[in-house]
Amino acid sequence: MCGIVAYFGKKEAQPILIEGLRRLEYRGYDSAGVALLKDGAFDLYKISGRIANLEGIVPEPSSPATVGIGHTRWATHGKPTTPNAHPHIDCTGKIAVVHNGIIENYAILKKWLIQEGCTFKSETDTEVVANLIGYFYEKNLSRDGQNTPQRNNRFEWAVQQALNEIHGTYGLAILCLDCPDIMIGVKNGSPLILGVGENEFIIASDTSAIIEHTSQAVYLSDGEMVCIRKDGFTTKTITDKEVQKELKEIEISLDQIELEGFDHYMQKEIAEQPQVLETCLNGRVDVKNGRVVLGGIQDQLRDLTRTKRVILAACGTAWHAGLVGEFLFEQLARIPAEVEYASEFRYRNPVIDEGALFIAISQSGETADTLAAVEQAKERGATVLGVVNVVGSTIARTTDAGVYLRVGPEIGVASTKAFTAQVAVLTMLAIELGRRRHLSADIAQALLKELTEIPKKVEHILTQNEQIKQIAQANIDKDNWLFLGRGLNYPVALEGALKLKEISYIHAEGLPAAEMKHGPIALITDEMPTVFIATQCSQYEKIIGNIEEVRARGGKTIVVATEGDEHIKQYADHLITVPDTVEQLQPLLTVVPLQMLAYHAAVLRGHDVDKPRNLAKSVTVE
């Protein structure tokens, strides 16, 4: 979940590292640091807090360094203090490391290294990596005491020896004081990309730190390392087998990761939803013939049509999208479906039947828990699809096939446009499988026609921005909220509660509305905000009854209803409307005002919307 950026070239490294870290800060912002290699020494600067704090302590260089590594941290092992900030330098002073991931056996290795005379300055697992590499480099011995084979580069060998001892996940950028003409990057379970420019190279956690300098990149796979020198780079496995990697074009542009006049990335990404949904649907929805064309899975569709069971696995917001997908696969395709928390899936000996379809949903395509679930599903014979946003991500490369969201970079930690695109992709897939199984051509065509209308209906919802801001202002002093919905709007209630929690720090619960009376109704107090998604749907009368139950106990009702519904006004203390659409597509509309409500609540309470406490964008550790 941390951000790594490393530079090797002819330009001054310091400003490139700082700017790269600023672009990666959404991946972690507990602490930050850089190590610059020049004149036979490391210039090390690190500090707790944001990148701005780091900029304040890094001086203007008297002589520029052209090689360096940088890091912005989301803390796992050790508190977010300056000593625990990366980079870490081994006790010999020769090896500098930045790390994203978790070293699972660090405690055993640390104990052994201390016995061997190594000293430690931090509480982190990463310092073990630095000291382990330094140990092999300095001793020139393998751990069993055997002399190293004759090699041209002891630094590379020491890195490989250390990684053979390590269990866990890592993305690493590594420097050695004795070898200023080499930089090494290694990947295993955490994303790492090599940007290749003209006589310069940038290692980074994702492309946002690279695209200002080059559009060409190499995507490392697990167990691979890249060794960079002035005359180029080589790739190999950590077991020293050469690997040929292909240069690929980075598919995002610099302007996509700029704020472009918005106050926050989350605000920008909410506003982008009409455009990105149109992009997501474009070329995929054939209304005339009532068909969906998803190029990434077109070759598998015949087999997918015979699917007997759908398992969707995801975490957080993506799990909520998966829950919408569960309802849609059962309603439209008549296939038994269930959504699983990816973080639990691998640990409970799941039953995966022959003919099962497993769908992994992840914005980043790097979510560690979801990756682990993918591996479990593949081992047990399921057909595995990925629904991801980031091109070239690990899930995209390890699944049998998949569909890209095509929404562009999502920088805000609280996911918005990725959620609506995930729901749109799952909707298209459910309609297409339904059409191939039992859904009539007329119904499929009507659903797809309505789906193409969704972007402009989302745009209409966005015009209520000021009204929703006023609703937030009237309720932000309340510390406990409920979000309630039925049917396909139950997952939306969960997502609305999550959005409010993660950026405004207001405690909120999302529930199926009918479940409220089975316990949670005890929480209702005078003036407690309760958000109902009460659109015109098959359970409309039922949810009106649930609203009455809250009103009878003094709760304040914020109701998301269908535009033109006059009847519901009498039940709402605050009313937000969305355009009418078919019930199966309502989540694409009803979630948008809840995103806006959470955004305004957070801003009005004075919180950093794009960098909420304790959270980071891409969860690459289990």
Report the distance separating Cα 116 and Cα 127, nearest Å: 15
* DSSP codes, 234-301: EEEETTS-B-----EE----GGGGS-TT-S-HHHHHHHTHHHHHHHHHTTTEETTTTEE--GGGGGGH
Q: Write down the pTM of the prediction.
A: 0.86
Q: Is 278 exposed, middle or buried (0-12, 13-18, 19+ CB in 10 A)?
A: middle
Report the distance separating Cα 155 and Cα 150, nearest Å: 12
Say whether 2 is catalytic: yes
Say whether 268 is catalytic: no
pLDDT over 50 (residue 116): yes
pLDDT of residue 611: 86
pLDDT of residue 578: 98
Return the ∠ at Cα 201 (arms to 195 and 204), rounded to 5°. 50
Q: Is residue 257 within 8 Å of 233, Cβ to Cβ?
A: no
pLDDT over 60 (residue 621): no
pLDDT over 50 (residue 152): no
pLDDT of residue 186: 97
Structure confidence by residue, pLDDT tens digits, 577-612:
999 999 999 999 999 999 999 999 999 999 999 888
Structure confidence by residue, pLDDT tens digits, 494-550:
999 999 999 999 999 999 988 888 888 878 888 889 999 999 999 889 999 989 888
Q: Which of 2, 91, 118, 537 is catalytic?
A: 2
Structure confidence by residue, pLDDT tens digits, 464-491:
999 999 999 999 999 999 999 999 999 9
pLDDT of residue 619: 61
Query: How much of the chain, in percent, has pLDDT values that exceed 90?
Result: 71
- Backbone angle region of 39, left / alpha / beta, with phi > 0 → left and psi within -120 to 50 → alpha: left
Q: Which of 46, 457, 501, 617 is catalytic?
A: 617
pLDDT of residue 27: 77
Tell me the residue length of the chain. 622
Domains of the chain listed by start with CATH number: 3-250 (3.60.20.10), 258-459 (3.40.50.10490), 463-607 (3.40.50.10490)
